[in-house]
Amino acid sequence: MKKLNLLPVILLILPVFGFSQFSVSGKITNKETKETLSGAHIIIENTFKSTISNSNGIYIVKNLKKGKYTFLITYVGYKPVKNEIDLSKNMELDFELVTSPVLEDEVIITATRAYEKSPATYQNISKKEIEDINLGQDLPYLLETSPSTVVTSDAGAGIGYTGIRIRGTDLTRINVTINGIPLNDPESHGVWFVDLPDLANSIDNIQIQRGVGTSTNGAASFGASINIQTQKLNPDPYAVINSSYGSFNTFKNNVSFGTGLIKGKWSFNGSLSKISSDGYIDRASSDLKSFFVSGSYYGEKSILKLNIFSGKEKTYQAWMGVPKDSLKTNRTYNPYTYDNETDNYKQDHYQLLYSYQFNRMLNLNAALHYTKGKGYYEQYKKEQSFEDYLLNNVIIGNDTITETDLIRQKWLDNDFYGVTYSLNYNNKKSIIATVGGSWNKYDGNHFGKLIWAKYASNSNIDYRWYFNNGLKSDFNIFGKINYRLNTHFNIYGDIQYRHIDYDMDGKHDDQRDITQSHQYDFINPKAGVFYELNNNNKAYFSFGIANREPSRTNFRDADAGEVPLSERLTDYELGYSYNTTRFLFNGNLFYMNYKDQLVLTGEINNVGEAIMVNVPKSYRMGLEFITGIKILPCLDWNVNITYSKNKIKDFTEFVDDWDNGGQISKDLGETDLSFSPEIIGGSQITYNCVKGMKLAFFTNYIGKQYIDNTSSNQRMLDPYLINNLL
């Protein structure tokens, strides 16, 4: 066997990870009062190093190599300060901060965020990172390289209907908020970013928490949460026009503007976007429009902000997928051919946000919100029975016609409104605490219209063949505290109470009466400990419980006499991080144990539709690794890898018995959860060595996954690798 000489490799790597020699330390103070500032963030730009000043305002950054560094100091309520140094020996570097004349936007999302020294598994994505990759694709594609993430696109181009799974969990189980306000549909629990095209253009930052995470507003997090903050104050006026063109006749046009800070108090900004694409799949076109406008008043101790944003989409339906036997011969196959087989929906959001700072340690956030959604999808259906639509048979002469071709629309007309609030305390030395919560109300009408029929029977214009209503109220209150025991240990506690009232009334499209009422009361506790050995080595452990009520679909499609159970997730997270100026490593071990998780089994209800049922025991466990290497000052390489097992402990499959009728059950034992690959990998190489030019090479690897829970190779999606150059 030929031996491999590793010495050249080691010699090549040593300069990258080489031993550092110097330290920088100092004190952070208020310039006017000379008061020391505890909890100030000290960030060394273009490195992986950062720290926080201690209870006496002292900071120290160790193990720095000789060279030039830029220190950025930030502290809520103060203007940020930058200082460039040329380090050749141990240095003392003090910073004096000047109070900001206005309250800063960060306070708006404090209550629902994990923060530094939180025992949580999370990732922050900045405005700059979003801007670099925003070419008009839906938000899930901008998060594609995040750890444990798989994204999908109905149309195949990332525009139109898209999906995202984090740790195998889809958007119906991912909690999504915008400025702390729930975005998940209260009935279905889903999020459709196609309804808010080019939302990324109006986003300042995103935090993704994996696992149960911290308490937030809206539906429980059963795999992850995505916390979005929209545009913050830009003190300078600006106007920008962006246009781009890509494959499949994809166009994006955007106009953005901002007034800057007017008279030191007022700010207005907005954007207008239009995106269109033919899609990769046949006829999978998209026509998307959106706008975002915001007006803000900034006082020394308060912020009043009004956000209005809206999206309107028209997409040709492509959600049926490509049959397996067509993948090699016709990968763009779409079974729909009717010209207007489209989805049409408009969603308007209104947010009134208010923040008030009582003093340096205590602030209040409150928000009123209202969302109006209305739209339909249109279908051409052949040979439909009159009876199914409550219509009479048509008699022509001696012939009785019992079926007709028709065009129908299925409508959703809904209103969602409520209030969120939080009281936040941070003494900067030992305690960070929050009491918050929300009350929200949802009123959704579901109905179907016939707009054309070959034989009209006794129908009339816009004839409705079904109507039902969903009415849901959701109240929650939570408290969380992070206590610094000493310079090394932080302990964290978090508990939430949530109450849900949900009423369904009326008939579904198959004329089943789905009238029913449900109430739930959940207690969701969380706790953890954060340990900081030094500036380079940190570790944490957390434990959390989340409870989730079934969705409208779960209730609607349950078999006669069956009521789906609520689900419970117990989540354990153990993490470690190591970072130097040129190297970053994060490792995380997770175990997510589910009780009564709702999964697809292949079983059908009494009208032949596939349903989801509770499985008593299932789990997800795995390892997540994140590594960053600064090869050169202008060349970065970031890699993340997830290896996991996602299992149902005792699974029973139901298959149709075509010979005798009914279904046959098969006990399969431990099987894989659907759409949950064991291996997920992402890589991003960023080159920024030429002024005005930035290149990024992205790679994503997704291991094999199953489209159901049987672990059958006949129902498996092959592993795939995707490369993108931006």
pLDDT digits (tens, 9 = 90+) for 91-136: 899 998 888 777 777 777 788 888 888 899 999 998 888 888 887 7
- Tell me the chain's radius of gyration from C-alpha atoms: 27
CB of 402 closer than 8 Å to CB of 386: yes
Contacts of 397 (CB under 8 A, 6+ apart): none
Which amino acid does the sequence have at 316?
Y
What pLDDT score does 311 carry?
Answer: 96
Q: What is the pTM of this model?
A: 0.90
**3-state SS of 541-601?**
EEEEEEEECCCHHHHHCCCCCCCCCCEEEEEEEEEEEEECCCEEEEEEEEEEEEEEEEEEE
**3-state SS of 47-92?**
CCCEEECCCCCEEEEEEECCEEEEEEEECCCECCEEEEEEECCCEE
Q: How far apart are CA 716 and CA 598, in angstroms?
A: 21
Q: How far apart are CA 474 and CA 366, in angstroms?
A: 17
Question: Of 430, 450, 461, which Cα lies nearest the Cα of 389?
Answer: 450
Mean pLDDT highest for which of 66-80, 401-415, 648-662? 401-415
Q: How far apart are CA 570 and CA 258, in angstroms?
A: 45
Burial (Cβ within 10 Å: 0-12, 13-18, ≥19) of residue 668: middle
Per-residue DSSP letter, 152: E
Could you tell me where the DSSP H helices lie in 169-262?
A: none
pLDDT at 475 over 70: yes
Q: Tell me the pLDDT tens digit for each residue of 618-665.
A: 999 999 999 999 888 889 999 999 999 999 998 887 776 666 766 777
Terminal-to-terminal C-alpha distance of the chain: 42
What pLDDT score does 2 carry?
Answer: 43
Residue 11's pLDDT band (boundaries 50, 70, 90)?
very low
pLDDT at 184 over 90: yes
- The angle subtended at Cα 515 by Cα 512 and Cα 520, nearest 5°, is 135
**3-state SS of 654-718?**
EEECCCCCCEEEEEEEEEECCCCCCEEEEEEEEEEEECCEEEEEEEEEECCEECCCCCCHHHEEC
What are the structure tokens assigned to 326, written together? 């067509």
Q: How far apart are CA 559 and CA 497, in angstroms?
A: 30
Greater model confidence, 133 or 248: 248
Which amino acid does the sequence have at 125?
I
Quick count: other Cβ atoms within 10 Å of Cβ 84? 9
Is 412 strand, coil or helix? strand
Residue 609's pLDDT band (boundaries 50, 70, 90)?
low
CB of 280 closer than 8 Å to CB of 160: no
Q: How far apart are CA 94 and CA 507, in angstroms?
A: 70
pLDDT at 64 over 50: yes
